[in-house]
């Protein structure tokens, strides 16, 4: 594969490239490279659909979080995307890991990630999830319901020890879509402050000597670009910590504010300003604790999408172009099986023609997938060159988070591979799911 050694000038505008990995360049008109590797060459070598992941961008974003929150623990939220290489990158950059299942946990541990730097989440942890977490010795388990208290205590045993946190519902509405708002009273996560369930659960934990309550946890939602909800969460969580100290003499040493930091999927969309977030949260936490007479707890944050989302690009091959009903439909060889987010949340992307120079004029098109659903739309309001045709290569930026991790087996097309690019080299991280893989699970005859 061709290596690009020198930076080159792109004809795309800075605004257009604002949602692409910072390594993106255009050595020739229409030929985009990421991490020094031609996207057209990736598609030619590995086929399409294919996910391209810029290792340098992932590492840079990890370091950005470490620099913005030097006094905090930063845990990468594995649900956004996880493979063994990703676990290595996160570990190398000094981040911890947040997992939601035994599957994510075992994948991380198999990659060499230290279990004591892993936190287990989940509103409905199965017995298997808890068994594996305790067996590996995860750093913390976040308790999400009262029933987990007795289950964990029994599994630990009278002579055991496990650090735990309690997920609290702060009663704050924030997030880019109602399906990803998790800080309110009307959803499945956490224990409410307002009805006393959080306080009751904490009292029960304190009666279990083998469980060490290290702190409180909350997560407001996803795609939050405003700092204010996090400041409100700090105030409410510190208020609860103050009441716990008064009632139980309990001095909690950790406060986890979760993640959910918003990123831009299209040029011009708002994104979280991490520097401002860190400064404001730090000041609010210090002030609130001083007013309550508390020692400032160690802050924990859990970014996922904001680390890996902008580092990914999805490549598709155009199968057909159809003009009907006054609209132009550009159908590609992937769709909702490899990216269900537009159908789930109405997410909008800014696809781009790569691999050749398109016509001078841009035309409005609807980029659709290959699946048997009218809702299989990847980009409803895209603008592509008016000469787009079958065989063209379409690139969709900001495809690193919640694509492969949410991919399905719909229509038995197989999930795409993941290719890492870095310093002019491409390497396979996750191979394409083959028809043989799919058939091997069918044992019904």
Q: Tell me, what CATH number does 223's domain have?
A: 3.20.20.10
Do residues 353 and 43 make contact, with C-beta atoms less than 8 angstroms apart?
Answer: no
pTM above 0.85? yes
Pairing of strands 211-217, 254-256: parallel
The span from the CA of 174 to the CA of 194, in Å, is 18
Exposure of 328 in the CB half-sphere (CA atoms within 13 A): 16
> 1 in a domain, yes or no?
no
Exposure of 429 in the CB half-sphere (CA atoms within 13 A): 25
The answer on 340 and 317 residing in a single domain is yes
The answer on 96 and 31 residing in a single domain is no
The answer on 126 and 270 residing in a single domain is yes
Q: What burial class does residue 1 get, using C-beta atoms within 10 Å of its C-beta: 0-12 exposed, 13-18 middle, 19+ buried?
A: middle
Parent domain of 345 = 14-54+310-440
Q: Going residue by residue through the chain (445 aa), what tens digit of pLDDT does each one get?
A: 433 333 333 457 777 889 999 999 999 888 899 999 999 999 999 999 999 999 999 999 999 999 999 999 999 999 999 999 999 999 999 999 999 999 999 999 999 999 999 999 998 899 999 999 999 999 999 999 999 999 999 999 988 999 999 999 987 755 544 544 444 456 567 798 878 888 899 999 999 999 999 999 998 888 899 999 999 999 999 999 999 999 999 999 999 999 999 999 999 999 999 999 999 999 999 999 999 999 999 999 999 999 999 999 999 999 999 999 889 999 999 999 999 999 988 888 999 999 999 887 999 999 999 999 989 999 998 999 999 999 999 999 999 999 999 999 999 999 999 999 999 999 999 999 999 999 999 998 7
**Residue 66: in which H helix or E strand, if any?**
helix 55-68
Of the residues 100, 218, 289, 372, only one is catalytic, namely 372
DSSP string, 203-253: HHHHT-TTEEEEEEE---BSSB--SHHHHHHHHHHHHHHHHHHHHH-----
The answer on 61 and 49 residing in a single domain is no
> 4 in a domain, yes or no?
no
> 171 in a domain, yes or no?
yes
Cα 398 to Cα 70, 157, 274, 277, 376, distances in angstroms: 26, 45, 18, 22, 18
Domain boundary (289, 309, 329) is at 309
Q: Is 289 a catalytic residue?
A: no
Q: What is the pLDDT of residue 140?
A: 97
Cα 324 to Cα 171, 321, 381, distances in angstroms: 47, 10, 15
The answer on 411 and 316 residing in a single domain is yes
The answer on 368 and 294 residing in a single domain is no
Exposure of 138 in the CB half-sphere (CA atoms within 13 A): 29
Other Cβ atoms closer than 10 A to 419: 24
The answer on 355 and 253 residing in a single domain is no
Domain boundary (273, 293, 309) is at 309
The answer on 92 and 22 residing in a single domain is no
Domain boundary (309, 326, 342) is at 309
What are residue 289's phi and psi, to 5 degrees?
-70, -40
Cα 51 to Cα 275, 401, 405, 418, 429, distances in angstroms: 29, 11, 12, 5, 10
> 8 in a domain, yes or no?
no
Q: What is the domain count for the chain?
A: 2
> 290 in a domain, yes or no?
yes
Pairing of strands 211-217, 37-38: unpaired
> 378 in a domain, yes or no?
yes
The tens digit of pLDDT for each residue in 148-184 reads: 999 999 999 988 999 999 999 987 755 544 544 444 4
Sheet containing strand 25-28, strands side by side = 25-28, 31-34, 37-38
The span from the CA of 286 to the CA of 173, in Å, is 23
CATH of the domain at 314: 2.40.37.10
The answer on 49 and 181 residing in a single domain is no
The answer on 414 and 290 residing in a single domain is no
The answer on 190 and 290 residing in a single domain is yes
The answer on 142 and 37 residing in a single domain is no
Whether the bond into 49 is cis, omega within 30 of 0: yes
Q: What burial class does residue 373 get, using C-beta atoms within 10 Å of its C-beta: 0-12 exposed, 13-18 middle, 19+ buried?
A: middle
The tens digit of pLDDT for each residue in 84-117 reads: 999 999 999 999 999 999 999 999 999 999 999 9
> 330 in a domain, yes or no?
yes
The closest alpha carbon to 119, from 74, 186, 71, belongs to: 74
Do residues 411 and 370 make contact, with C-beta atoms less than 8 angstroms apart?
Answer: yes
> 305 in a domain, yes or no?
yes
Q: Dihedral sign, CA of 94, 99, 105, 110?
A: negative
Do residues 189 and 214 make contact, with C-beta atoms less than 8 angstroms apart?
Answer: no
Q: What is the pLDDT of residue 302?
A: 97
């Amino acid at each position: 594969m061709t290596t690009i050694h020198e930076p080159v000038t792109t004809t795309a505008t800075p605004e257009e490239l604002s949602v692409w990995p910072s390594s993106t360049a255009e050595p020739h008109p229409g030929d985009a490279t990421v991490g020094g590797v031609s996207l057209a060459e990736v598609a030619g070598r590995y086929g399409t659909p294919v996910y391209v992941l810029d290792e340098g961008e992932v590492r840079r974003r990890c370091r950005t979080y470490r620099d913005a929150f030097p006094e905090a623990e930063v845990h990468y939220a594995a649900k956004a995307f996880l493979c063994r290489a990703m676990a290595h990158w996160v570990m190398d950059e000094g981040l911890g890991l947040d997992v939601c299942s035994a599957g994510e946990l075992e994948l991380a541990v198999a990659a060499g990630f230290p279990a004591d730097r892993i936190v287990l989440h989940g509103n409905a942890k199965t017995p298997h999830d808890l068994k594996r977490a305790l067996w590996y010795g995860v750093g913390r388990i976040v308790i999400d319901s009262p029933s987990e208290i007795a289950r964990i205590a029994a599994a630990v045993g009278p002579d055991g020890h496990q650090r735990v946190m309690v997920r609290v519902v702060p009663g704050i509405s924030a997030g880019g879509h109602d399906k990803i708002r998790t800080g309110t009273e009307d959803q499945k996560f956490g224990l409410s402050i307002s009805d006393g369930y959080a306080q009751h659960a904490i009292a029960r934990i304190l009666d279990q000597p083998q469980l060490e309550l290290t702190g409180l946890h909350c997560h407001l939602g996803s795609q939050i670009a405003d700092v204010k909800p996090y400041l409100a969460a700090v105030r409410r969580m510190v208020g609860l910590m103050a009441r716990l100290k008064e009632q139980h003499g309990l001095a909690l040493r950790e406060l986890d504010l979760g993640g959910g930091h918003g990123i831009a999927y299209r040029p011009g969309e708002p994104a979280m300003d991490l520097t401002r977030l860190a400064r404001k949260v730090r000041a609010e936490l210090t002030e609130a604790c001083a007013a309550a007479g508390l020692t400032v707890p160690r802050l924990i944050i859990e970014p996922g999408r904001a680390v890996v989302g902008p580092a990914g690009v999805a490549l598709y091959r155009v199968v057909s172009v159809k003009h009907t009903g006054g609209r132009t439909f550009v159908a590609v060889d992937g769709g909702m099986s490899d990216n269900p987010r537009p159908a789930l949340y109405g997410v909008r992307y800014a696809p781009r023609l790569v691999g050749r120079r398109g016509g001078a004029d841009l035309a409005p098109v609807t980029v659709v997938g290959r699946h048997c659903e009218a809702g299989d739309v990847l980009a409803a309001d895209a603008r592509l060159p008016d000469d787009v045709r079958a065989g063209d290569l379409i690139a969709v930026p900001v495809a690193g988070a919640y694509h492969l991790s949410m991919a399905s087996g719909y229509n038995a097309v197989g999930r795409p591979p993941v290719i890492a690019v870095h310093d002019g080299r491409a390497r396979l991280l996750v191979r394409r799911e083959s028809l043989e893989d799919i058939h091997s699970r069918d044992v019904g005859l």
